[in-house]
Amino acid sequence: MDRRLAPVLVVILLSACAVFAQDTGLEQAPAAPPARVAPPSPNASAEELAEKADLLRSQKNYLDAIDYYRAAARKDKSAVIWNKLGIAQLQLTRFGDARKSFEKSLKIDKTYADARNNLGVIYYMSKKYSKAIKNYRQAIALRESASFHANLGAAYFSKKEIPRAVAEYERALQIDPNVLDHTSSTGIAAQLSSPADRAHFFYVLARMYAQTSDFNRSLDCLRRAMEEGYKGIDDVYKDQEFAALRKDPRFNQLMSSKPIAIPQ
């Protein structure tokens, strides 16, 4: 089986500086119930069961995906299958079950970096940030990854260790400039602890993007910082990282428009 499973990425606020979906105020039709899925066949191979589970998970049919992953795991003691099972459980916020699955994956293969990262996600979502940091750092020691560094940065940010958080985000962006924009079927949305933290987070990202001359993203993040009510927005006029951005006409246009803070 393909071992190259994309790791779960803690996507802060769905994705940094992304355009958020807005409520149209229209009544939505109820979602149709998922089609019934036949139970796993006892004659199917572990690979066939895992492939069916992958398909079900991509369709957000997590309950049936879990059944198929469990059936596959009974036939093949695979770290990859247990990791995928944990992701499906995590999607249903079954943190206890997911933690056990990731731990089982690591028991089979203690060098499996994705499972170690995902165990960190469990601790992060449970607000056990020190344990999350420990697991993210172990995952990075096994394999350096932009998403692992971004996850570590999120944990440091939640502990208000801002310099360390910035260092990890910078490393993540060095590896993959688009890492904070990634969303996928394995992405987990995570909220920062308070509106003030969210506002500060966007300002920190804006400063980082400005330093790398990615002015489009920097302006987007500045706008979000103001919409989230960042109190220190006037620092943009003195922080050295924004020196080049301040020469961009769009900067003056944004700052003069003063986006109204969105009510929390």
Domain ranges of the chain: 44-110, 134-190, 192-264
Closest by CA position to 83, among listed 64, 61, 111? 111
d(CA 19, CA 72) in angstroms, rounded, equals 38
For the cut 80, the answer to whether the pLDDT of residue 79 exceeds it is: yes
Range name among 28-32, 136-140, 148-152, 225-229 with the lowest pLDDT average: 28-32
Topology at the third CATH level for domain 44-110: 1.25.40
Per residue in 117-151, pLDDT tens?
999 999 999 999 999 999 999 999 999 999 999 89
Q: Is residue 184 pLDDT above 90, yes or no?
A: no
Architecture of domain 134-190: Alpha Horseshoe (1.25)
The amino acid occupying position 51 is E
The reported pTM is 0.75
More confident residue, 191 or 164: 164
Q: pLDDT tens across 90-117, in order?
A: 999 999 999 999 999 999 999 999 999 9
Using an 8 Å Cβ cutoff, are 59 and 85 in contact? no
State the average pLDDT over residues 80-87.
96
103: Cα separation from own chain's centroid: 20
Identity at 169, one-letter amino acid code: Y
Summarised one tens digit per residue, pLDDT across range 190-222 is: 445 567 777 888 898 899 899 889 999 999 999
Residue 30 has pLDDT above 90, yes or no: no
Question: What pLDDT does residue 207 have?
Answer: 92
Please compute the mean of the pLDDT values over residues 228-241 and round it to a whole number.
92
